[in-house]
Amino acid sequence: MKRALLNISFFALMLLVFGCSPKSVFTEPLLSSQTFRGNKTLPKERLEALLPQKPNKRLPYTPITTGLYFYQLFSAKLPPFSYKSYAEKKVIWEKELTKLNDDFDQRVKGLDINSEEYLKIAKKKESKAQKLTRKINEGNWAMRTFGEAPSYFYEADAIKNVEKVKTYLKNHGFFNYSVSYKKDSTFFNRRGIDVTYLVDEGTFYPLKQVDSLVVQDRTIREILRANQNESRLKAGERLTLEDYNDEKVRIENLLKNNGYYNFSKDYISIRVNDLDTAITKGIAAITYIPNPSRPPQNPNYRKAYPINKVTFISDGSSPAITVPKVDTIYNRNIQYIFVNKRFSTKLLDSKIDIRPNQLYKLNNRLQTEKNLYGLDQFQFTRINFDTTRGLLDATIYTRPLDKYQFTAETGGSVFRLVFGPFFNTIFKVRNIQGSASSLETNLRFGFEAQTGFFDTDVVSRNLELGLNTSLIVPKILAPNFLAQKLNAFTPQTRLGVGAEFTSRQEYSRLNFKINGTYVWRPSPKKFWQVSLVDLNLIFTNNQTKAFLDYLDTLKAQGNNLGQSFNRSFVSTISASYTYTDDPYGQIKKGNYLRLLMESGGTTLNFFPSGKIGFVSSLFGDSLQFFKFVRFNADYRRYLSIGGSKNASFAYKINTGIAYAYGEGRNLPYEKNFFVGGPSSIRAWRPRTLGPGSAYSFRNLDQPGSILLETSAEYRFKIIRFLGDYNINGAFFVDAGNVWRFQGQNTEGLTGSDFQFDRFYKEIAVGTGFGVRVDLSFFVLRLDWAVKVIDPSQEEGNRWVLFRDKSNFRTNTQSDGYSNSLALNFGIGYPF
């Protein structure tokens, strides 16, 4: 019955869309679809990417083009509305654009094009012209936001596409190929055309010989022969256009790293000898330098240049400083010129790889730019080379950033309609005493809406306050042999002190910390962070009687979780590695991986008592020490769907294990794993899921020492508004849980320990829908989630979606089981 109703509803929708359409505004047949047939070696997706025309998007598995329908609807003039049609408005907009240009010419007549008044008028005119041009080309706001412009079929486009595919086959090593196309009318819409491109790839011959060189200059020829094993052209493989271009770039970079400053890949010609393919069943690649058909424009292309002179200029000039102060310093054959602002020449010398009396190397130039950029002291770095005197002089030109920088961000979360805002600021002071070091201070102030441990019907805002200051030194403070090895990887040493304060209904917690961390980046995609010193002194105060009684109850059961709330000293060493395909923004397609290893209390193993004497004497014997090892792996994958920028699929897998050893076998509270909340399993409130299938009558934070968490999202664009801003949507599924090691605070909590024969039955599942307002510079996120599988219920009764709530156990004081929609508010994507 339900399936029949669904089919009737779908059929009615089709009638509505096609039957209520306004009068057609399409003057040409529409491109309904285009596909390839006959290709066996080349994937269809690669061939489709050659076609600039794209059919209008359809609803999945239907012929319905909703975007096209709304485009047609909002471009027409429909009764009883009195607005003009798109065709009528287009004429008006074109007249307005013409008048705008004429008025501009009159207003700026006689003005200097570099004057402030001219630039102000021109900027205002350009803004209006862009809006009018967009309306003329793309239609009114409703057409652009809800509609999609029609994609027309033109015979000339199909003919051009055939030639494009032929060229592509030729450039990818195929011979005796053929390409044609056929067109058919669509079944549902006679105005639409289905285009099929028929491809016969013919045959391809592998490369038999790739080391044939015809090079005039003997030295260049010897360099190429010595590095032939690095060639992108491999014997036995098919010649492709990508390999062809990569080989030219390789040769150019090779020669530029051997002093040939004026050399260009345009001076290279790689030709294919296919005259004897019938006999040899292969082809030969021949490299010509110079290109026989295009002589080099620079006659000095085969001259290897040594660096003659290096000059570094830091231009800190300002209109506010009428008499600039200029300092000129010579250090290790480099001339430094500082205008108004000096930097350490010793530090700069370690960052400059371009040295006098050494051959010019492209890699040294790029590494120097990377090193100087990594100092976070300059707005830009530009390196110029001058060969007018027959010598190669290098000038490194930089402009310093502002000494003081202040940034701020705000956001929050929502729980039970109670908003928990936060405010985060960063204040940075650069180039302290000319050392190129920076002092960075971070202040975080916020509230998190949560119920209490015991009064779960009352939501309060828990205060979170943090103040951290770090001295950032742009090098590794370590023995010279180690520092030199990492010098090319934008190294930093961060020395920090800070304090964090949290106030909840049941207790308050104060954490003083000192840390020293090394960071370096081997490549734009890879990032290392090693902390050899991370000391934390933690105080838990203002504990309520009910909370203390609860901890005593756990202790009586043999559960030592209460020790995590004692006055504590936590010392750790750690190392983390991060890989990301897109380090400068939200990943749309690619991978993200972060690995973290921590060892806590390692140095305590060298003390007979397992404690640090002077620390204990300062704070008393009640001070709690911890020993543990902890590992965390977070992997994320991002996939575009159908080659479209409007939809993507993302998922993450987050796992971890933390093992406590020594007296008490306890973890510091902050080193536990927690799940639930806006960036975790969103159907549960923050940190309240688990451990395992344990059931508690209180909504306590639920720490765990074993973590398994995964999320998947289908992300899609809903509408575009105000230019490039978008409202996006997402369907998501979250799953996971935390567990504890047997005997590690599992007493009194049946099902909280990890067991291979049942852990998979204790995976919690939640699902929901999200709306994201993408304002380019940041994203506002609203996610609504509901529980699907709740492991805290009895086995066999854990599916809670659309079930009678009276059948379930409840850990709230209200009547019945609660599975209402959980609203999560956040800044940015959840992962």
Higher pLDDT, 612 or 410: 410
**Choice among 422-436, 447-461, 780-794 with the minimum mean pLDDT:** 447-461
Confidence of residue 2 (pLDDT cuts 50, 70, 90): very low
Confidence of residue 5 (pLDDT cuts 50, 70, 90): very low
* Residues 224, 228, 231, 235, CA torsion sign: positive
Confidence of residue 492 (pLDDT cuts 50, 70, 90): very high
pLDDT at 137: 85
- Buried/exposed 687-714: b ≥16 CB within 10 Å, e otherwise: bbbbbbbbbbebbbebbbbbbbbbbbbe
Q: Tokens for 288?
A: 């010509």
pLDDT at 793: 86
Tell which residue, 660, 661, 685, 657, has the closest CA to residue 673: 657
DSSP 8-state code for residue 809: -
Q: What is the pLDDT of residues 502-553, one digit of tens each?
A: 988 888 999 999 999 999 999 889 999 999 989 999 888 888 888 888 888 8
Asked if residue 466 has pLDDT above 90, the reply is yes
Bridging pattern class, strands 30-37 and 192-200: parallel
pLDDT at 606: 55
Confidence of residue 605 (pLDDT cuts 50, 70, 90): low
Output the average pLDDT for the chain.
Answer: 84
- Buried/exposed 456-492: b ≥16 CB within 10 Å, e otherwise: beebbbbebebebebebbbbbeeeeeebeebbbbbbb
Tell which residue, 619, 593, 617, has the closest CA to residue 607: 617
Compute the average pLDDT of residues 667-695. 88
Q: What is the pLDDT of residues 497-510, one digit of tens each?
A: 999 999 888 889 99
pLDDT at 203: 85
Question: How many residues can be counted in the chain?
Answer: 831
Q: Return the amino acid letter for 654.
A: N
Higher pLDDT, 508 or 7: 508
Asked if residue 392 has pLDDT above 90, the reply is yes
Asked if residue 82 has pLDDT above 70, the reply is no
Compute the average pLDDT of residues 25-49. 85
Higher pLDDT, 212 or 60: 212
- Return d(Cα 535, Cα 499) in angstroms, integer: 12
Q: Which residue matches tokens 């983390």? A: 576
Contact of 439 with 432, CB cutoff 8 Å: yes
The secondary structure of 280-336, three-state, reads: HCCEEEEEEECCCCCCCCCHHHHCCCEEEEEEEEEECCCCCCCCCCEEEEEECCEEE
Asked if residue 412 has pLDDT above 80, the reply is no
From first CA to last CA, the distance across the chain in angstroms is 40
Q: What is the pLDDT of residues 252-263, one digit of tens each?
A: 999 999 999 999
Confidence of residue 425 (pLDDT cuts 50, 70, 90): very high
pLDDT at 18: 43
- Buried/exposed 733-742: b ≥16 CB within 10 Å, e otherwise: bbbbbbbbbe
Contact of 231 with 250, CB cutoff 8 Å: yes
- Return d(Cα 777, Cα 276) in angstroms, integer: 59
Compute the average pLDDT of residues 627-656. 88
- Return d(Cα 754, Cα 655) in angstroms, integer: 14
Asked if residue 213 has pLDDT above 70, the reply is yes
Asked if residue 333 has pLDDT above 70, the reply is yes
DSSP 8-state code for residue 155: H
Rg (CA), the chain: 34
Q: What is the pLDDT of residues 350-371, one digit of tens each?
A: 999 999 999 999 999 999 999 9
Asked if residue 654 has pLDDT above 80, the reply is yes
699's CB contacts (< 8 A; 6+ apart) are 451, 453, 456, 685, 688, 811, 812
Compute the average pLDDT of residues 613-620. 56
Helices and strands of the chain, counted as H and E runs: 15, 30
Q: Which residue matches tokens 């007018």? A: 388
Confidence of residue 6 (pLDDT cuts 50, 70, 90): very low
- Return d(Cα 528, Cα 485) in angstroms, integer: 14
Confidence of residue 8 (pLDDT cuts 50, 70, 90): very low
